Chain A
């Protein structure tokens, strides 16, 4: 069985404070820490040292897949599956296919972006991770630091107090 892990959590009440705290936590080189905020705080990625999301590449690939699907569907059905002469127009009437090229590109890209963002990038849905405080989705800003064993809890708490956390506590579980 894996060793129990602990999260030490410090709370702030202003977005400016959490920015400073995140920066300090990054400079202390904690292995695994994250901040939890009621709304996206401007500049937190930089303070926390987060890389820009690679999600746009996923959207691009999904959009290309949508375009290919639209080309395949329309050209294949009209050219091979059941060719039909409508008003003497060419069987593969590319200009007439453009609206559906566009729509399916957007459909695939949009839906894939959101599904992949929630499932792969955010690890959701996940109902087992600890919710440190119910007010994190209201008006609290939390800095949570994961530690491997019980001995490290106290030093991290001390660190959080040093960087002016208003409240500090710890919970069992992973970040």
Chain B
């Protein structure tokens, strides 16, 4: 009979502590491979193309984008929400799974947190350029004393809550990530042979020596940060959803938005994490640390959150009908059968149907399949935000002002450029930072002679 109590090892290949350091630090200490250089070159080209597009838009004007009355929120807000959502998986893994003592998080938390930070950086660009005049943004977005009164920002506006939530989220994620990195930077420092490498990682490690007195405070700080990040990550997408829900636009003005957005964010974030980790474990030879068990667990979360998102789609429809509000009903019928029906069905297909494959264990452990499915989920989640933003605005209260929204070529190029930035940053991360939390992994691998107790 199958042993139901059997637990898969979190790290395979019966590694010793020294093996962990050797395996994880290898990409940092060897010359970049042609594959890495090629990928980084392409990602960089795309990133600078994106920056060029932004510069062009600042020179030429916001009309470069496809936004036309009545659709005032176009690609930039869609992509902002998309990237913020991607970030959520990292914090879920690093904070919420930490509080639930899910030890499998140790293999993937470092790269997932890096993904969070880079995704929020990509997201941060879009509201700034969406203002059309980014040089005014600081004054519009942040409360700082100025010569006009001083005039202050409107703290009653969800858009401002969003600024504060996203900035806080970025700062806390960065601090959390760095805290986890300090002992690992010390490891890199102590094995460095090159003088400059030793100095640079020495500075980054703050002179960490692994003292137990320091560890005892460190662990408490880590716990507090996890405790703070848990409500924070839930608050961020909740507040992003307030940007929509606090308005009185049909299709947006619903109380389901906060949980629906948070579930969607975790869903898309885990899909992106699977996309990246499937590649990274192959290229950097980390299959013993990011095991099939890890990917299996992540695919289960994708399945669960995908079902939550599907439930939210259904609930929205039901409530639109049940509310008896004709505007609300009209918008939802438009979504499924109107001019944007194609985008609605891409969304449903990618987000509700694709995760269903993950009911089967063999499919959850099938690398090529999960890679393809995770790409579908990423596409689907971008389209979810497209559906929400565009359908509600394009067919507004006055039929005479209805308009069909199209992405302009500028929109498409800038959207692709943000992916270039994301992958450039992630590739740099893989080269210069230990991609696995070494100190945390060591704490979960069995010590010599204790293998038989399990």
Interface residues of A (CB under 8 A from B): 14-16, 22, 34-42, 44-45, 48, 50, 52-53, 55-56, 59, 73-74, 77-78, 81-82, 84, 86, 89, 93, 96-97, 99-100, 102-104, 106-107, 109-111, 113-114, 117-118, 121-129, 131-132, 134-139
Give chain B residues whose Cβ lies under 8 Å from the Cβ of A34.
Answer: 211-213
A111 to B187, CA, bound (A): 24
Ordered by A's residue number, 22 sampled pairs between the chains whose C-beta atoms are within 8 Å are A14-B447, A15-B447, A34-B212, A38-B183, A82-B152, A84-B154, A96-B156, A100-B164, A103-B164, A103-B168, A106-B172, A106-B232, A110-B175, A110-B176, A111-B172, A113-B224, A114-B175, A114-B225, A121-B214, A124-B206, A136-B209, A137-B183
Q: Which of B189, B225, B235 contacts A102 (CB 8 A)?
A: B235
Judge whether A129 and B209 touch: CB under 8 Å.
Answer: yes
| A109, closest chain B residue (CB) | B228
| A115, closest chain B residue (CB) | B175
Interface residues of B (CB under 8 A from A): 16-18, 21, 143, 149-152, 154-156, 158, 160-161, 164-165, 167-168, 171-172, 175-176, 178-179, 182-183, 186-187, 189-191, 202-203, 206-221, 224-225, 228-229, 231-232, 235, 239, 242, 439-440, 442-443, 447-449
A52 to B214, CA, bound (A): 12
Judge whether B149 and A114 touch: CB under 8 Å.
Answer: no
Q: Which of A89, A104, A131 contacts B168 (CB 8 A)?
A: A104
Give chain B residues whose Cβ lies under 8 Å from the Cβ of A38.
Answer: 17, 183, 187, 210, 439, 442
Judge whether A135 and B231 touch: CB under 8 Å.
Answer: no
A110 to B225, CA, bound (A): 6
| A134, closest chain B residue (CB) | B190
Give chain B residues whose Cβ lies under 8 Å from the Cβ of A39.
Answer: 183, 439-440, 442-443
User: Given A74-B155, A122-B218 in contact, is the A127-B202 Cβ separation under 8 Å?
Assistant: yes
Judge whether B228 and A35 touch: CB under 8 Å.
Answer: no
Give chain B residues whose Cβ lies under 8 Å from the Cβ of A97.
Answer: 155-156
| A48, closest chain B residue (CB) | B212
Give chain B residues whose Cβ lies under 8 Å from the Cβ of A74.
Answer: 155
Judge whether B224 and A59 touch: CB under 8 Å.
Answer: yes
Give chain B residues whose Cβ lies under 8 Å from the Cβ of A107.
Answer: 167-168, 171-172
Judge whether B152 and A114 touch: CB under 8 Å.
Answer: no
Judge whether A99 and B239 touch: CB under 8 Å.
Answer: yes
Give chain A residues whose Cβ lies under 8 Å from the Cβ of B211.
Answer: 34-36, 122
| A22, closest chain B residue (CB) | B212
Judge whether A50 and B440 touch: CB under 8 Å.
Answer: no
A45 to B158, CA, bound (A): 46
Give chain A residues whose Cβ lies under 8 Å from the Cβ of B156.
Answer: 86, 89, 93, 96-97
Least CB distance from B336 to A in Å reads 32
Give chain B residues whose Cβ lies under 8 Å from the Cβ of A36.
Answer: 209-212
Judge whether B212 and A41 touch: CB under 8 Å.
Answer: yes
A111 to B189, CA, bound (A): 25
The 5 closest A-B pairs by CB, nearest first: A139-B17, A134-B190, A117-B221, A121-B217, A99-B161
A136 to B232, CA, bound (A): 35
Judge whether B155 and A96 touch: CB under 8 Å.
Answer: yes
Give chain B residues whose Cβ lies under 8 Å from the Cβ of A81.
Answer: 149-150, 152
Give chain B residues whose Cβ lies under 8 Å from the Cβ of A118.
Answer: 182, 206
Least CB distance from B214 to A in Å reads 4
A135 to B442, CA, bound (A): 14
Judge whether B220 and A53 touch: CB under 8 Å.
Answer: yes
| B450, closest chain A residue (CB) | A16
Give chain A residues whose Cβ lies under 8 Å from the Cβ of B449.
Answer: 14
Give chain A residues whose Cβ lies under 8 Å from the Cβ of B218.
Answer: 40, 117, 122
Judge whether B212 and A82 touch: CB under 8 Å.
Answer: no
Give chain A residues whose Cβ lies under 8 Å from the Cβ of B232.
Answer: 103, 106
User: Given A55-B217, A131-B209, A139-B16 in contact, is the A114-B179 Cβ separation under 8 Å?
Assistant: yes
Judge whether A127 and B207 touch: CB under 8 Å.
Answer: yes
Give chain B residues whose Cβ lies under 8 Å from the Cβ of A59.
Answer: 224, 228
Least CB distance from B434 to A in Å reads 11
Least CB distance from B156 to A in Å reads 4
Judge whether B215 and A40 touch: CB under 8 Å.
Answer: yes
